[in-house]
Amino acid sequence: MNLTVNGVEHSVGSPALTPLLAVLREELGVLGCKAGCWQGGCGACTVLVGGQPRRSCLVPVGALDGAEITTVEGLGTPERLAPVQAAFHQNYASQCGYCTPGMLIAAHAYLEGGGTDDRAAIQEALAGHICRCTGYVKILEAVGTAARGDAAELERNLEVGEEPPVEIKGSPA
């Protein structure tokens, strides 16, 4: 069977009941989707299947012949971040980073679906994603920023190694 992952077509040899997550990481070496709980409870492995967010640990690959898969690697590049990635960067929405790929995929799908900066709606969209570092506030703010499309901020992508242009609240001017 075949899978298109981030625009590249792959032939897949894993048995049909293998979770998509195992195929991506172990057979195809696509490591952006993270392996957390392997039972659908943490959100770290979330990828887009045909543009819709799915837990890759819960989807048997045999159900996906010919499907288009997008992992975090397919959202943007270091030189050209996707808006949601730029917003996460600017809002310090990532700490250890393990949940970040899943968060970004879910947030991207939310925004692509016309999601607004309504806090409750963002919380609902990210409900299945656990972060043990940030306390979620920065993540929610980042998705709100991206939803408002603060284009001037988001389109100015950062050079690799560049300090992010963020004011530290409460610091002397």
Partner 1 sequence: MTAAAPEVLLPTSLQEAVQAFGDGAGVTVVAGGTILLPALTYGRLKPGRALMLSKSGLDTITRENGMIRLGAMLPVAALADGPEPLASAARNVADIEIRAQGTVGGNLCAPPGVSAPRGDLQGPLLALGAHVRSAGPGGERTEPVESFLADHQSRLALEISFEEPSASGYARVDRPHAHTYTTLAVSVARAADGTVRIAATGAGPRGVRLPSAEAQAGDPEAAGRAALADVTLQDDALASAWYRERTLPVLVRRALTQLVENTG
DSSP state letter for 54: E
Q: Are 91 and 140 in contact (CB under 8 A)?
A: no
| Residue 14 within binding range of partner 1, rule CB under 8 A | yes
Q: How far is the CB of 57 from partner 1 (least distance, A)?
A: 7
> How many Cβ atoms sit within 10 Å of the Cβ of residue 85?
25
Which of 84/125 has CB closer to partner 1? 125
CB of 21 to partner 1, least distance (A): 9
Nearest approach in angstroms of CB 73 to partner 1 is: 19
Kindly identify the residues of this chain, within the stretch 104-133, that bind partner 1 according to CB under 8 A. 106, 124-125, 127-130
Contacts with partner 1, 24-53, as mask; x by CB under 8 A:
--------------xxxxxx--x-----xx
Residues 6+ apart with CB under 8 A from 45: 21, 33, 34, 35, 36, 55, 56, 57, 102
DSSP three-state, residue 11: strand
CA pair distance 69, 108, nearest whole angstrom: 14
Footprint on this chain of partner 1 (rule: CB under 8 A): 14-19, 22, 38-43, 46, 52-55, 57-60, 62-63, 106, 124-125, 127-130
